[in-house]
């Protein structure tokens, strides 16, 4: 569902409107005070980012322990940054946030890092036909080789359901002892899985999966229903975005970027705007 910039500005024109939205998202239609147990109305304290019970003065703090906690940046700027992340296909760099928000680069970088925490992947298990593959990121220099065997590159292991969701995880390597526990955690036993002929995948049938292999080494990329093109498409989008928007991402923070693009992929057909989903996640991660 589309959520335009005009709709955004109409809904969140001021810090007060943003704070009210956070209050509703966090506490819902609260009618009873947790402290005095009376039916009450929580009124905004003008000088602070909180609301208090009309009887006993008990306070509720919508931003406490969220990504906005102890931040001097206006909530309108935070919400606009969230909007940019929710509508951008190729990601948002800290430099772009610096220009859009009119803040320092240090502030923009922190805002971007905090927002990416909202994209953390859930523990949903894949049960439909699943493609499994790995890709490699970064690592200039060395033997300058692409893919497997390349030096100084960081491996990312991925699994994607056909017409479903993707799971991707930064790993230290792609050896069998590393990837098999990840597969067992995220892919239900008995599921039909598609891979290339990479050696660590050859034990999938013994592990309890229905395993189909495509021979990339023999220039075979599709054989009937057997391919890993869905996951290859995800890797391609992720690499284009990192190279075009960020230019380089350190291994230390790569998982945050992988989570961000996985979340967008997984909600590509969502009826609810991604902005609304992220706003709900702000209070869920407390």
In order of their start, the domains of the chain are 5-119+273-284 (no CATH), 130-251 (3.30.420.10)
The closest of 66, 75, 34, 80 to 53, measured between CA atoms, is 34
Number of Cβ within a 10 Å radius of residue 284: 10
Residue 141 pLDDT > 60, yes or no?
Answer: no
pTM, rounded to two decimals: 0.91
- pLDDT tens column, 116-134: 999 999 989 999 999 999 9
* pLDDT top residue among 149 and 283: 283
Residues 150, 155, 156, 160: is their CA dihedral positive or negative? positive
Residue 103 pLDDT > 80, yes or no?
Answer: yes
E strands within the chain?
42-45, 50-53, 59-60, 130-137, 154-161, 166-170, 192-195, 210-213
Per-residue confidence band for 183, with pLDDT thresholds at 50, 70 and 90: very high
Q: What is the pLDDT of residue 145?
A: 58
C-alpha to C-alpha distance for 266 and 164, rounded to whole angstroms: 7
Cα distances from 134 to residues 128, 158, 164, 169, in angstroms, run: 19, 6, 18, 9
Per-residue confidence band for 186, with pLDDT thresholds at 50, 70 and 90: very high
Per-residue confidence band for 150, with pLDDT thresholds at 50, 70 and 90: low
- pLDDT tens column, 260-272: 999 999 999 999 9
Residue 143 pLDDT > 60, yes or no?
Answer: no
């Amino acid at each position: 569902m589309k959520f335009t910039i005009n709709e955004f500005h109409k809904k969140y024109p001021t810090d007060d409107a943003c704070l009210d939205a956070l209050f509703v998202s966090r506490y819902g239609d609260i009618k009873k005070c947790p402290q005095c147990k009376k039916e009450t109305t929580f009124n905004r304290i003008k000088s602070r980012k909180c609301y208090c019970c009309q009887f006993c003065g008990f306070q509720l703090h919508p931003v406490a322990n969220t990504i906005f906690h102890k931040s001097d940046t206006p909530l309108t700027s935070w919400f606009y940054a969230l909007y940019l992340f929710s509508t951008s296909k190729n990601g948002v760099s800290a430099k772009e946030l610096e220009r859009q928000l009119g803040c320092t680069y240090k502030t923009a970088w922190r805002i971007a890092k905090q927002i990416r925490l909202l994209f953390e992947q859930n523990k949903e298990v894949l049960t439909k036909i699943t493609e499994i593959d790995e890709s490699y990121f970064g690592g200039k220099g060395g033997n300058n080789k692409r893919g497997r065997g390349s030096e100084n590159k960081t491996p990312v292991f991925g699994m994607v359901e056909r017409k479903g969701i993707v799971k991707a995880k930064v790993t230290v390597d792609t050896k069998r002892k590393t990837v098999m526990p990840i597969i067992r955690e995220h892919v239900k036993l008995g599921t039909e899985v598609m891979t290339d002929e990479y050696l660590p995948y050859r034990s999938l049938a013994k592990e309890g999966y229905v395993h189909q292999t495509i021979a990339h080494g023999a220039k075979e990329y599709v054989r009937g229903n057997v391919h890993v093109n869905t996951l290859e498409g995800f890797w391609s989008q992720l690499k284009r975005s990192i190279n075009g928007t960020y230019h380089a991402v350190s291994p230390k923070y790569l998982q945050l970027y992988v989570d961000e693009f996985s979340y967008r992929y997984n909600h590509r057909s969502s009826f609810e705007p991604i902005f609304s989903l992220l706003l709900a996640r702000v209070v869920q991660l407390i």
